[in-house]
């Protein structure tokens, strides 16, 4: 990949990282000992325990919040990884077979870790 293209993706990734960090800090608490781990905040505890419907709503909210935080966390960590790869000069290569990732795919998702062929593989 050309240096100018790498710079372009780096900028996109950095912008997305800032947005994700903002979203995450509204929904979760960063783990002080592990910066790639976020704990979802519990919803406001301003309900009276006597009202079972509200208790149920709060539990639903907590589960939804949890799912959102997990999803954002995965995206956040993928972006961090992509930025690290840029630093190492490995950006834009499939993590499975080392093939170059299609630039269109990177434009749609600058933190893509695999080529199209391996886009459904589970990665650690
Ligand atoms: Zn591949």
In this prediction the pTM is: 0.79
Going from the Cα of 113 to the center of ligand 1, the distance in angstroms, rounded, reads 9
Q: Does residue 109 lie within any of the structural domains?
A: no
Inside any domain, residue 117: no
Segments of the chain assigned E as strands? 28-31, 34-40
Q: How far apart are CA 24 and CA 22, in angstroms?
A: 5
CA of 60 to the centre of ligand 1 (A): 38
Does residue 112 lie in a domain region?
A: no
d(C-alpha 113, C-alpha 96), whole Å:
9
The token pair that represents 112 in the structure block: 């893509």
Question: Percent helix, strand and coil across the chain, each rounded to 5?
Answer: 55, 10, 30
Q: How far is the CA of 102 from the centre of ligand 1 (A)?
A: 10
Domain limits for position 35: 3-42+49-91
- Number of separate domains in the chain: 1
Q: Say if 114 falls within a structural domain.
A: no
Residue 107, SS3 per DSSP: helix
CA of 121 to the centre of ligand 1 (A): 9
Q: pLDDT tens digits, residue range 87-102?
A: 999 999 999 999 999 9
Per-residue pLDDT reduced to its tens digit, 24-62 = 999 988 888 887 888 888 766 555 666 777 778 888 888
Asked if the structure places residue 80 within a domain, the reply is yes
* Residue 21: inside a domain: yes
Name residues with Cβ closer than 5 Å to ligand 1, which is an ion.
Answer: 94, 96-97, 114-115, 117-118
């Amino acid at each position: 990949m050309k240096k100018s293209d790498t710079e372009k993706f780096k900028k996109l990734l950095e912008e997305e990282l800032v947005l994700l960090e903002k979203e995450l800090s509204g929904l979760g608490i960063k783990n002080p000992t592990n910066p790639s781990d976020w704990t979802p905040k519990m919803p406001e505890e301003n309900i009276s325990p006597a009202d079972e419907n509200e208790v149920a709503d709060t539990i639903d909210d907590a589960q939804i919040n949890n799912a959102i935080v997990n999803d954002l966390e995965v995206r956040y960590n993928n972006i961090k990884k992509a930025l690290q790869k840029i630093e190492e000069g490995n950006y834009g290569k499939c993590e499975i077979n080392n093939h170059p990732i299609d630039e269109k795919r990177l434009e749609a998702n600058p933190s893509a870790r695999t080529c199209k062929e391996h886009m459904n593989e589970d990665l650690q």
